[in-house]
Chains A and B, each alone.
Chain A
Amino acid sequence: MSSVIISGDTSGSITLAAPAVAGTNTITLPAATGTAMVSGNMPAFSAYKSTDQTGISNNTWTKITFDTETFDTNSNFASSRFTPTVAGYYQIQGQTAFVGTVMTNQGIGIYKNGSEYNSVYLRSSASDLAVQVVNLVYMNGTTDYVEIYGRIVGSSGLYFAGGSGNSFFSGSMVRSA
């Protein structure tokens, strides 16, 4: 059995360079075959809601819209929906600030392909409350997509607050399929 030994030296860095030839440069590791994922081909995005989303119906799961992109490395985010074109496992997080009069319940959820994937529920009487949901989601790289939905139970004036610190939606690939 052969082995590769990488030893550091006093220069403080080790460089592993792809061959300077045309074509596909892949690295095959023992006991696993595939294309090595590097930061350049692992999609990541971040977006936020710039203005308040008003007119929220009581006790109704409503898609939260995020109109401003901070970054979208693979152009996979559009219409408040993330549809990655690389199959794998993604850490997804969403947050919104719920505002309303006499609120009693709040919920925020990651929706995958239009259905609830997982949600966080609170029963708070606060009139202004930020809640976040985070989970790891497998995405097939073709048709799978995720969105963020929110629900408020309150008497009136219900909305999701805008602002990059109040409502954001982000995600990044953490492992290939």
Chain B
Amino acid sequence: MTLYEKTIALYPSLTNKDFDTVITLQNDSDGKGDYIAKWEHPTLAKPTAEQLA
């Protein structure tokens, strides 16, 4: 399951617009995988590492 899929499973109300504006998932193609580069959602808290594990 990708980071995006885990995030959507945690917060099903998120939309593509959220990922255009207040949330950025990023992968630097360095072998370290996907990560949350920006989380500025006005009401939903940034997922913890435990929630995404």
Contacts and interface: CB of A to CB of B under 8 A. Distances in A.
Contacts of A59: 4, 16, 19, 25
Interface residues of B, number: 16
B26 A61 contact: yes
Contacts, number: 46
Contact of B37 (A58, A61, A105): A61
Interface string A59-72: 11111110000000
Interface in A70-125: 80, 104-105, 107, 114, 116, 121
A161 interface: no
B25 A60 contact: yes
B27 A61 contact: yes
- Give the interface SS of chain B, mostly helix, strand, loop or mixed: mixed
B19 A63 contact: no
Given A65-B29, A80-B29, A60 B16 contact: no
B40 to A, nearest CB: 13
A153 interface: yes
Interface range for A: 10 to 19
B16 A62 contact: no
B16 A104 contact: yes
Contact of B29 (A63, A104, A121, A153): A63
A60 B28 CA distance: 10
A62 B27 CA distance: 5
Contacts of A64: 29
Given A60-B25, A61-B24, A104-B16, 8 more contacts: A57-B25, A57-B27, A59-B19, A60-B2, A61-B27, A64-B29, A65-B29, A116-B24
Interface of A: 53, 57-65, 80, 104-105, 107, 114, 116, 121, 149, 153
